[in-house]
């Protein structure tokens, strides 16, 4: 696919930023709103499509828009191009704490599947599309849903995930994973779900009703803190309207709710 050859550097530990160095006329594509800073010689433009097939026509671009609507992402990707002389820098970060995974797509047979909000940015020439999960159970009960993002190309792509990232290499093996903890996996791996133990374990074990099962040969990337889990905890401990649930995690908070008439 002849993706642009970009250099990069990742800053930080828990809230990472990736800085992309572009030669003149090189371009990086990114999700809308993910840019942190850039040199003045870099120009950006929101476009319908990833630019990997510039001659696909208006119908093809509208098809790309439809696919991005299905994933819940913005219908536009932003293209950042170095229109100056010499190397210039543009940097990107995700909107919540986590780590960035740099992926050389040529090292994973040119393709990887990832959860629909994991893509951050990539060298121009990378095709960003969708893939449908063929198994009904995995699509309906799995954290990934029916729709996964598919990245194809031979250049660098960058994914973002919550917390710490762990890369597991499977060799005709299987792995049980919390459904929300899967970030991405390579070709050769099959994604499915299975029941989380017996009925008592399913309802009271705290691991959810189902676990994801990855099996085969390839790489899988896992995250320690899915954004949905972080959001749930924040909502649980957030004050209610009127402030009646302040301090709900403490004994005094519980007593306060009794006095207020909440319990």
Domain residue ranges in the chain: 7-162
Mean pLDDT score across all residues of the chain? 79
Q: Which CATH superfamily is domain 7-162 in?
A: Mitochondrial biogenesis AIM24 (3.60.160.10)
Q: For 45-49, 88-92, 251-255, which range has the lowest pLDDT when averaged over its residues?
A: 251-255
Q: What is the mean pLDDT of residues 53-71?
A: 60
Q: How far apart are CA 143 and CA 120, in angstroms?
A: 19
Q: For 57-71, 119-133, 189-203, 239-253, which range has the lowest pLDDT when averaged over its residues?
A: 239-253
**pLDDT > 70? residue 73:** no
Q: Give yes or no for a contact between 19 and 75, defined as CB atoms under 8 angstroms apart.
A: no
What's the whole-model pTM score?
0.77
Q: What is the mean pLDDT of residues 131-141?
A: 55
Q: Give yes or no for a contact between 46 and 78, defined as CB atoms under 8 angstroms apart.
A: yes
The pLDDT of residue 24: 96
93 pLDDT band (50/70/90 cuts)? Answer: very high
The pLDDT of residue 59: 57
Nearest to 212 by CA among 200, 195, 224: 195
Q: For 107-111, 127-131, 246-250, which range has the lowest pLDDT when averaged over its residues?
A: 246-250
> Of the segments 14-18, 113-117, 168-172, 251-255, which one has the largest average pLDDT value?
168-172
Q: How far apart are CA 184 and CA 117, in angstroms?
A: 11
**pLDDT > 60? residue 221:** yes
Pairing state of beta strands 42-47 and 119-123? unpaired
The pLDDT of residue 211: 81
- Spatial neighbors of 204 by CB under 8 A, at least 6 apart, are none
251 pLDDT band (50/70/90 cuts)? Answer: very low
Q: How far apart are CA 252 and CA 261, in angstroms?
A: 14
């Amino acid at each position: 696919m002849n993706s642009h050859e970009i250099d990069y550097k990742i800053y930080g530990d828990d809230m990472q930023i990736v800085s992309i160095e572009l030669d003149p006329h090189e371009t990086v594509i990114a999700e809308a709103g993910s840019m942190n800073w850039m040199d003045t010689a870099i120009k950006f433009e929101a476009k319908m499509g990833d630019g990997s097939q510039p001659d696909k026509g208006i119908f093809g671009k509208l098809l790309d828009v439809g696919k991005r609507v299905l994933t819940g992402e913005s219908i536009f990707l932003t293209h950042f191009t170095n229109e100056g002389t010499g190397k210039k820098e543009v940097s990107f970060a995700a909107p919540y704490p986590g780590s960035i995974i740099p992926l050389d797509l040529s090292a994973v047979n040119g393709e990887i599947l990832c959860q629909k909000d994991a893509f951050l940015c990539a060298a121009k020439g990378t095709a960003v599309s969708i893939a449908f999960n063929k198994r009904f159970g995995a699509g309906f009960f799995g954290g990934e849903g029916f729709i996964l993002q598919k990245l194809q190309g031979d250049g660098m792509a960058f994914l973002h995930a919550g917390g710490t990232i762990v890369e597991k290499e499977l060799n005709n093996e299987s792995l049980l994973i919390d459904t929300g903890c899967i970030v991405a996996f390579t070709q050769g791996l099959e994604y499915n779900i299975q029941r989380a133990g017996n009925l008592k374990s399913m309802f009271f074990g705290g691991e959810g009703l189902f676990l994801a099962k990855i099996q085969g040969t390839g790489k899988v990337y896992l995250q320690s803190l899915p954004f949905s889990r972080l959001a749930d905890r924040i909502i649980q401990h957030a004050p209610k309207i009127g402030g009646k649930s302040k301090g709900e995690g403490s004994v005094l908070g519980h007593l306060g709710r009794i006095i207020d008439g909440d319990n």
